[in-house]
Amino acid sequence: MDNSIIFAVGGVILGVIIGFIIAKTLEKNNASKLVKEAKRSAASILKEAKSEGETLKKDKILQAKEKFIELKSEHEKVILSRDKKMAEAEKRTRDKESQISNELAKNKKLNENLESKIKNYDHRLDVLEKKQDQVDKLHKSQVQQLEVISSLSAEEAKEQLVESLKGEAKNDAMAYIQSSLEEAKLTAEQDAKKIIINTIQRIGTEEAVDNCVSVFNIESDDVKGRIIGREGRNIRAIEAATGVEIIVDDTPEAIILSCFDSVRREVARLSLHKLVTDGRIHPARIEEIVKKTQKQIEQEIIEVGKRTVIDLGIHNLNPELIKMVGRMKYRSSYGQNLLQHSREVAKLCGVMAAELGLNPKLAKRAGLLHDIGKVPDAEADMETPHAILGMQWAEKHGEKPDVCNAIGAHHDEIEMKSLLAPIIQVCDAISGARPGARRQVLDSYIQRLKDLEDIAFGFNGVKKAYAIQAGRELRVIVESEKVNDDVAADLSFNISQKIQTDMTYPGQVKVTVIRETRAVNIAK
């Protein structure tokens, strides 16, 4: 059993060896065949490469020859063009040379002619000099003969002639100057009238009328009762907060607001409108609405000032001056609205300055600001004339010296230093002197009401003072911490005595001192 396995294994190994030998023999034969085939293919590839190389070589040589021929032809063209240009340049040079030679020949002829003319002129000068000598000799002999005849020397005769001519010239000059002055005066007066008339005609404005009452329209008479309130507390609160007298009468669907101060009247009107629209009308709400309306009016004043400045084409005006211009809307001068008056004066000044060849923008600026002193911020400012006060404000806020001088001099408080000042004065007079522009009675009435309020403010402890009922009543609101009930009674008596002493007025003036104490706490 074991021997058979050994023989089998040995047979297998022998078979494997014999197969390996046979495989190697076959592999050698195949390799030799492959090498021969590779040599043959390599030889054929080399042969083909040589033939292709020869072909490429011939092609490159042909291309090089063609390129050389092409470059040679281009070079020949360039050479021909250069030769052509050189020939043209030579031709032009020859033409210039011939032209120059012709010019030289002409100049030579001209020089010869000039020399001949110079010789001729020299000869003529010699002849003239000889003749001049002869004329001088004859003139001297004639002068000597005249001196012998007139028994005067030439200098004496000249002096006499000069004196006579001086006298005649002086008389003629004086007559001419006199006639010129008269004509200039007449012409200047006519021109001035023409400028003023043209200026007035070009500025058309309406008559300015300022009233002391405003009408507040309501939808129904039921609203009147709500405005009056229980036992009149609402209407008293409105009057105390605004300083405006509210008249509720039988006039259908209307309530009258009476006050000389336009700002107070406008605040009261707008406050009533808001209260009626909102529907809540009671003292606390009234005070709140009045404060908000006062702030609104202040903002509106600024907007009015800005619009006015923009409409007139005035730039770089100080914000404080713009605010003063806006406040003019609620001020009047002799019944004439101050803002309308100032706008009118500004336009008149611009036209007149343009007619006279001055700066119209500067004239408009001075015309608009000439009455800003009529809107004082404090009672102390009212003691200074409005022209001087306006000038001081303009200087404070950086206006030019000519503008400041025109503002201060338009009522002759100071000396006029520029042509702008008389223009402002004339235009102010033109605006104020128009028929229907101003009313003296209204202005004196308003001044009397202001004087009434000023007397009340002169006492300690006075918080607010309102002149109502056309100046027949003065309501004084005092600070409860500083004034007790006894002092309030004395204060009413003292104010009435002061009014009797210092003022002149028709009828009687009722002085009412109001002292109010409030206790306010907040529940949180």
Q: What is the pLDDT of residues 277-297, one digit of tens each?
A: 887 888 888 888 888 888 888
Place of tokens 């040995």: 10
User: Once rounded to an integer, what is the mean pLDDT over residues 229-248?
Assistant: 82
Residues 418-424: what's their mean pLDDT?
86
Antiparallel, parallel or unpaired: β 473-478 and 510-515: parallel
Mean pLDDT over 422-431 rounds to: 84
Please tell me the predicted confidence (pLDDT) of residue 188.
Answer: 64
Of the ranges 115-119, 135-139, 181-185, 214-218, which is most confident? 115-119
Radius of gyration of the chain (CA): 59
Q: What percent of the chain has pLDDT over 70?
A: 85
Closest CA relative to residue 221, chosen from 179, 242, 250: 250
Residue 354 has pLDDT above 70, yes or no: yes
Q: Which of 524, 22, 468 is nearest to 246 (CA)?
A: 468
Asked whether the CA dihedral 293, 299, 303, 306 is positive or negative, the reply is positive
Does residue 116 register a pLDDT over 50?
yes
Which is more confident, 159 or 71? 71
Distance CA 264, CA 475 (A): 15
What is the fold, at CATH topology level, of the domain defined by 445-515?
Answer: GMP Synthetase; Chain A, domain 3 (3.30.300)
Over 70: is that where the pLDDT of 207 sits?
no
* Segment 340-351, tens digit of pLDDT: 888 888 888 888
CA atoms within 13 A on the CB side of 465: 21
Q: Which two tokens stand for residue 359?
A: 């700066």
**Structure token pair of residue 75:** 């070079």
Mean residue pLDDT across the chain: 80
Residue 442, pLDDT score = 59
The helix/strand/coil state of 274 is helix
Q: Do residues 393 and 324 make contact, with C-beta atoms less than 8 angstroms apart? A: yes
Give the start-to-end residue ranges of the domains of the chain: 48-137, 209-305, 313-438, 445-515
CATH number of this structure's domain 313-438, picked from the four choices 1.10.3210.10, 3.40.50.720, 1.20.120.1730, 3.40.120.10: 1.10.3210.10
Each residue of 293-329: b (16+ CB within 10 Å) or e? bbeebeebbeebbbebbeebebeebeeebbbbbbbbb
Q: Please tell me which residue, 36 or 87, carries the higher pLDDT value.
A: 87
Comparing C-alpha atoms, which of 355, 302, 335, 310 is closest to residue 211?
Answer: 335
Starting at the edge strand found earlier in the chain, the sheet holding 245-247 runs 213-217, 254-258, 245-247
Least confident interval from 136-150, 200-214, 325-339, 451-465: 200-214
Query: Predicted confidence band at 11 (pLDDT cuts at 50, 70, 90)?
Result: confident
**pLDDT grade for 46, boundaries at 50, 70 and 90:** confident
pLDDT of residue 380: 46
CATH class of the domain whose range is 209-305: alpha beta
pLDDT of residue 206: 45
> Which pLDDT score is estimated for 210?
45
What is the pairing mode between strands 254-258 and 245-247? antiparallel
